[in-house]
Amino acid sequence: MTRADGRSGDATVPAPSRDELGDRVLTVPNALSVLRLLGVPLFLWLLLGPQADGWAVVVLMVSGVTDWADGKLARALGQSSRLGALLDPAADRLYIVATLVAFVLRDVVPLWIVAALVAREVVLGVVLLVLRRAGWPPLQVHYLGKAATFILLYAFPLLLLAAGTGWLAPVVAPLAYALTVWGSALYLLAGVLYVVQAVGLLRQGRTA
C-alpha dihedral (64, 183, 140, 134), degrees to nearest 10: 140
Quote the pTM value. Answer: 0.70
- Is pLDDT at 196 greater than 80 in this prediction? yes
Tell me: the pLDDT tens digits for 135-146? Answer: 887 777 778 888
Q: Which domains does the chain have, with CATH numbers?
A: 18-207 (1.20.120)
For 26-55, the pLDDT digits (tens) are: 777 778 888 888 888 998 898 888 888 888
pLDDT tops 70 at residue 208? no
